[in-house]
Amino acid sequence: MIEELFATIKERQQSNPEGSYTASLFAKGEDEILKKVGEESVEVILAAKGQGNERLIEEISDLTYHVLVLLASRGLTPADIAAELEKRKK
């Protein structure tokens, strides 16, 4: 699922379709993407502190999406994260 979502994000980055939220994030630039990652991080914390597991899953999903947009904006991929995690495996 992550790879499929990332492929969609990359496609939106390249084709820049009108009305696409993803394309609009890329158009606004890295500062806006980072702002969204920060906002979603706070929302994950708030959800974990008392909004229930369903809300936590929703917020982690939002954070994951925005982190994938950040990776794409930097020319990185989920495989780069997987490689780093593999290096850390003991």
Q: Enumerate domains of the chain plus CATH numbers.
A: 2-88 (1.10.287.1080)
> DSSP 3-state assignment of 34?
helix
Could you say which DSSP state residue 77 is in?
-
40 CB-near residues (< 8 Å, 6+ apart): 59, 62, 63, 66
Residue-level pLDDT at 58 = 98
**Residue-level pLDDT, tens digit, the chain, 90 residues:** 999 999 999 999 999 999 999 999 999 999 999 999 999 999 999 999 999 999 999 999 999 999 999 999 999 999 999 999 999 987
